[in-house]
C-alpha cells in the first residue's frame, strides 16, 4: 500500500489491483511517457517485477537518479522510504508490485 503525500502533475500512471488479501497486495502499474507518481511512502516491504524494460527517474531525500528496470528481473525494497517516480522516456513502463503485509510501518 502506498501513502501519498501530494498530487503530481502530468499524465497519471494506471494502477490496477490484481490481488488483495490479508497477506499481500498485488498491483499492476503502467506509466505512460510523462507519467509521474507523487511523493509517497510504502507502508509494507515490497517486491517489484518489471514487465517492460526502461528507465525511471526516482527522487528521494538524497536527490534524483535514473533507475533501470529490466523486464522480468525482480527486486525488493523495504517499507518506509519516501520517493517520487517519473517516466521521462518515450515508451510505457509497466511492472507488478507485490506488497508483503507481514510487517507494516507504525
Domains in the chain (CATH in brackets) are 2-104 (2.60.120.10)
Quote the Cα angle for 59-60-66, to 5°: 35
Residue written as cell 501513502? Answer: 3
Quote the Cα angle for 46-57-95, to 5°: 40
Q: Among 6-15, 16-25, 36-45, 93-102, which stretch is predicted with the lowest mean pLDDT?
A: 6-15
Q: What pLDDT, on the 0 to 100 scale, is given for residue 102?
A: 85
- Cβ neighbours of 36 (radius 10 Å): 20
- Entry pTM: 0.85
Q: Are 55 and 68 in contact (CB under 8 A)?
A: yes
Amino acid at each position: 500500500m502506498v501513502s501519498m503525500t501530494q498530487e503530481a502533475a502530468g499524465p497519471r500512471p494506471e494502477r490496477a489491483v490484481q490481488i488483495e488479501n490479508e497477506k499481500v497486495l498485488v498491483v499492476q502499474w503502467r506509466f505512460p511517457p510523462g507519467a509521474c507518481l507523487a511523493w509517497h511512502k510504502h507502508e509494507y516491504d515490497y517486491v517489484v517485477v518489471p514487465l517492460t524494460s526502461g528507465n525511471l527517474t526516482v527522487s528521494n531525500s538524497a536527490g534524483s537518479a535514473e533507475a533501470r528496470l529490466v523486464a522480468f528481473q525482480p527486486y525488493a525494497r523495504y517499507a518506509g522510504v519516501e520517493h517520487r517516480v517519473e517516466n521521462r522516456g518515450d515508451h510505457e513502463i509497466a511492472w507488478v508490485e507485490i506488497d508483503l503485509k507481514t510487517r507494516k510501518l507504525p
